[in-house]
Chains A and B, each alone.
Chain A
Amino acid sequence: MASESSDEGGNGYEPKILVFACNWCSYAGADLAGVSRLQMPANCRIIRVMCSARVRPEFVVTALSKGLDGVLVLGCHPGDCHYSEGNYFTRRRGLLLKNLLQFVGIEPERFQVRWVSASEGAKFADTVEQVTEQIRALGPNRPRSGNQSAEPGDR
């Protein structure tokens, strides 16, 4: 059997990172990383959205609040948006939210925005690697104490 790197080294802490990727550039960049077999840590989970501007800041706040260790929003490079201007809104929202989260004591590494184009498979892999390592170094977002009942959505 292949090596079980998940149990190697450290305290075995594996951060869980939510990634939003826009359909046209970043998701395609992630696909390219796959096609190119670029290896990277297995801590990120992608939610595909059509445009990074679909990611409402509430998602980021919710994800962190629910105990996820980090949120990474990926969009087309400014100027490349499939919808011509979506990522400019992402950029403004991202700037403000990052500052706000930091202001209430949430480490800036836990919420990041990056631009990854469809040809930047390697950048996608590097970004995943970097962000994972940064968050791993921080440790768990917060003890998952309190109510475990929170399953957003309906009940």
Chain B
Amino acid sequence: MEDKLQELVVELLGDGAMEYFIGYRQGFEPSHVVPCFVTDQSEADRLIWGPLCLQNLSKYVLQARDLDGKVGLLVKGCDARAIVELVKQHQIERDRVVVVGVPCEGQVDPRKLEQVLGVPMEQVIDVEDAGDEFLVTVGSEVRKIGKEQVLRDKCFFCKHPASFDYDYTLGEVQPFTIDGDSEEYDAVEKLEGLPLEERRAFWQKQFERCIRCNACREVCYGCYCKECIFDRTAPRWLDRPPLLRENEMYHLIRAVHLAGRCIDCGECERVCPVNIPLGRLYKKLQKDIAELFDYEAGMEYDTVPPLVDFELDDQDPFL
């Protein structure tokens, strides 16, 4: 698949169909994958694809706003929805982006993998997708690890492994579910089922740890505001010290802002240095929005986002 990708990028750059291409390449260590900006045909051979290509590259597409030409982009099905949203939210015109869809059968959560292997990621040389399992090379040894053990949370119920709107695709893939016993919203429902006090304790414990490094914001495709409301000084919404109540406010307000726009790419949770399970917060919103407003972000160009839309007969518990 990498060959196919590289060939395509060479061709597109050669035609002048795009100014540069954003994909993945290997970083300092074999298991460390980083985004890669290919401007020249000669660099195309650095492009890779695999279960460690974690980043949602969509955010970088915003850079193309300043280009005359187009930007090409490798997207997994989940990330592709960010492109749809960015187009819907008027951040980029669709025809400025060359979308190269890649079929994805699940991504590895490095933290889980480290736990299963008992060794740090630096020692992992390669991870290869092999259907229900990953082939993980550590040193000279190749270990088979069941996907259910190391998959990123968001990948368990992948409804959209491929983009529905691409210019080129590297292959087809069907929606899949790993670990058939559980359901998409299990984690959310488990929390919902707890008594209020326990739920509160759970989240307080999480928010307490937040150091307000803003990594979740910086990585989020949807956080493209020129000036973030939290950075404003007139008025100032948040006090600087990362105290619990300020942190909680920060995360709740972020959640409100992303409601109906979050495409569940999982980047916020991935980059959080203190491991706050932000995915669960956003999954909750996603679940409610699907149930209440029958809406899923990133799926259609011509629907109106749920919080700037209404139906006359929306649920009304308020009376």
Closest-by-CB residue of A relative to B306 is A92
Determine if A96 and B288 form an interchain contact, defined as CB atoms under 8 angstroms apart.
yes
The stretch that binds A, out of B48-56, B65-73, B242-250, is B242-250
In the complex, what residues of B have CB within 8 A of residue A149's CB? Answer: 239
22 sampled A-B residue pairs with Cβ under 8 A: A62-B237, A65-B249, A66-B245, A78-B312, A88-B310, A88-B311, A88-B312, A88-B314, A92-B292, A92-B309, A99-B288, A100-B288, A104-B199, A104-B248, A105-B196, A105-B201, A113-B318, A114-B319, A142-B245, A146-B243, A147-B239, A154-B234
CB of B308 to closest CB in A, whole Å? 7
Determine if A58 and B229 form an interchain contact, defined as CB atoms under 8 angstroms apart.
yes
The answer to whether B131 has its CB under 8 Å from any CB of chain A is no
| Bound form: Cα–Cα A114–B319 in Å | 6
Tell me whether A147 and B241 are in contact in the complex, defined as CB-CB below 8 angstroms, given that A95-B315, A102-B196 are known contacts: yes
**What is the size category of the interface that chain B forms with chain A?**
35 or more
| Bound form: Cα–Cα A121–B308 in Å | 31
In the complex, what residues of B have CB within 8 A of residue A57's CB? Answer: 253, 256
**What is the size category of the interface that chain A forms with chain B?**
35 or more
The answer to whether B281 has its CB under 8 Å from any CB of chain A is yes
Determine if A114 and B318 form an interchain contact, defined as CB atoms under 8 angstroms apart.
yes
Determine if B237 and A152 form an interchain contact, defined as CB atoms under 8 angstroms apart.
yes
Closest-by-CB residue of B relative to A127 is B319
Determine if A103 and B284 form an interchain contact, defined as CB atoms under 8 angstroms apart.
yes
Known pairs A91-B310, A95-B292; list 4 more (Cβ under 8 Å): A92-B314, A95-B288, A95-B314, A154-B236
Determine if B284 and A97 form an interchain contact, defined as CB atoms under 8 angstroms apart.
no
Closest-by-CB residue of A relative to B207 is A104
Determine if B236 and A78 form an interchain contact, defined as CB atoms under 8 angstroms apart.
no
* Mask: chain B, 183-194; 1 = CB below 8 Å from A; 0 = not: 000001001100
The answer to whether A9 has its CB under 8 Å from any CB of chain B is no
The answer to whether B317 has its CB under 8 Å from any CB of chain A is yes
The answer to whether B119 has its CB under 8 Å from any CB of chain A is no
In the complex, what residues of A have CB within 8 A of residue B306's CB? Answer: 92
**In-complex Cβ contact of A58 among B192, B201, B245, B253 (8 A):** B253
The answer to whether A55 has its CB under 8 Å from any CB of chain B is no
In the complex, what residues of A have CB within 8 A of residue B284's CB? Answer: 99-100, 103
In the complex, what residues of B have CB within 8 A of residue A112's CB? Answer: 318
In the complex, what residues of A have CB within 8 A of residue B141's CB? Answer: none
In the complex, what residues of A have CB within 8 A of residue B319's CB? Answer: 114-115
* Mask: chain B, 95-132; 1 = CB below 8 Å from A; 0 = not: 00000000000000000000000000000000000000
Determine if A155 and B318 form an interchain contact, defined as CB atoms under 8 angstroms apart.
no
The answer to whether B255 has its CB under 8 Å from any CB of chain A is yes
The answer to whether B140 has its CB under 8 Å from any CB of chain A is no
The answer to whether A107 has its CB under 8 Å from any CB of chain B is yes
| Bound form: Cα–Cα A22–B29 in Å | 59
The answer to whether B316 has its CB under 8 Å from any CB of chain A is yes
Closest-by-CB residue of A relative to B252 is A61
In the complex, what residues of A have CB within 8 A of residue B188's CB? Answer: 103
CB of B178 to closest CB in A, whole Å? 25
In the complex, what residues of B have CB within 8 A of residue A142's CB? Answer: 245
| Bound form: Cα–Cα A35–B221 in Å | 52
CB of A95 to closest CB in B, whole Å? 6
Q: Which chain A residues (62-85) contact chain B, with CB distance < 8 Å?
A: 62, 65-67, 78-79, 85
The answer to whether B197 has its CB under 8 Å from any CB of chain A is yes
| Bound form: Cα–Cα A88–B285 in Å | 19
The answer to whether B86 has its CB under 8 Å from any CB of chain A is no
In the complex, what residues of A have CB within 8 A of residue B243's CB? Answer: 146-147
The answer to whether A150 has its CB under 8 Å from any CB of chain B is yes
CB of B111 to closest CB in A, whole Å? 23
Q: Which chain B residues (251-290) contact chain A, with CB distance < 8 Å?
A: 252-253, 255-256, 259, 281, 284-285, 288-289
